[in-house]
A and B are shown apart, each in its own frame.
Chain A
Amino acid sequence: MLEIVNLHAEVNGKEILRGINLSVKAGEVHAIMGPNGSGKSMLSAVLAGHPAFTVTQGSVTFNGKDLLAMPAEERSRAGLFLSFQYPVEIPGVSMVNFMRAAVNEHRKYKGQDPLSAGEFLKMMRAKKDIVELDNKLANRSVNEGFSGGEKKRNEIFQMAMLEPCLSILDETDSGLDIDALRIVASGVNQLKTPQNASIVITHYQRLLDYIVPDIVHILYKGRIVKTAGRELVAVLEEQGYDWIKKEVGE
Chain B
Amino acid sequence: MKQQDSNSIIENLATSDYKYGFSTQIETDIIPVGLNEEVIRLISSKKNEPQWLLEFRLKAFRYWQKQTVPTWAHLEIPEIDFQSLSYYASPRKNAPQSLDDVDPELLKTFEKLGIPLEEQKMLSGMAVDAVMDSTSIKTTYKEELAKLGVIFCSFSEAVQQYPQLVQQYLGTVVPYTDNFYAALNSAVFSDGSFVYIPKGVRCPMELSTYFRINAVNTGQFERTLIVADDDAYVSYLEGCTAPQRDDNQLHAAIVEIVVMNRAEVKYSTVQNWYPGDKEGKGGIYNFVTKRALCKGESSKVSWTQVETGSAITWKYPSCILKGDNSIGEFYSVAFTNHYQQADTGTKMIHLGNNTRSRIVSKGISAGKSQNSYRGLVRVAQRAQNARNFSQCDSLLLGSQCGAHTFPEIDVHNPTAVLEHEASTSKINEDQLFYCNQRGISTEDAVGLIVNGFAKEVLNKLPMEFAVEAQKLLQISLEGSVG
Contacts and interface: CB of A to CB of B under 8 A. Distances in A.
Given A51-B2, A51-B5, A92 B436 contact: no
B285 to A, nearest CB: 31
Interface stretch (B66-74, B347-355, B444-452): B444-452
B440 A88 contact: no
A76 B439 contact: yes
A76 B2 contact: no
A93 B3 contact: no
The DSSP consensus for interface residues of chain A is: mixed
Nearest to A143: B434
Most chain A CB within 10 A, of B437, B441, B451, is at B437
B436 A52 contact: no
B421 to A, nearest CB: 14
B452 A92 contact: yes
B16 interface: no
Interface stretch (B138-146, B181-189, B191-199, B424-432): B424-432
Contacts of A97: 448, 452
Interface of B is mostly: helix
B438 interface: yes
Interface residues of B, number: 26
Given A93-B449, A93-B452, A71 B439 contact: no
A121 interface: no
Contact of A94 (B435, B444, B452): B452
B436 A71 contact: yes
Contact of B439 (A50, A54, A84, A102): A102
B1 A71 contact: yes
Given A49-B436, A51-B429, A72 B1 contact: yes
Contact of A92 (B2, B6, B442, B453): B453
B439 A90 contact: no
A97 B441 CA distance: 14
Nearest to A76: B439
B440 A102 contact: yes
Interface string A68-92: 0001110111000110100111111
B455 interface: yes
A71 to B, nearest CB: 5
Given A52-B3, A93-B452, A162 B431 contact: no
Interface of A: 48-52, 54, 71-73, 75-77, 81-82, 84, 87-94, 97-99, 101-102, 105-106, 109, 141-142, 158, 162
Given A76-B438, A84-B437, 19 more contacts: A51-B5, A71-B436, A72-B436, A73-B436, A73-B437, A77-B439, A88-B430, A90-B431, A90-B448, A91-B452, A91-B453, A92-B449, A93-B451, A99-B438, A101-B440, A101-B444, A105-B438, A105-B441, A105-B444
8 nearest A-B residue pairs (beta carbon): A92-B452, A72-B436, A93-B452, A76-B439, A102-B438, A88-B434, A105-B439, A73-B436
23 contacts: A48-B433, A48-B437, A49-B436, A51-B3, A51-B5, A73-B435, A73-B436, A73-B440, A73-B442, A75-B437, A87-B434, A88-B434, A90-B431, A90-B434, A93-B449, A93-B452, A97-B448, A98-B448, A101-B444, A102-B440, A105-B438, A158-B438, A162-B438
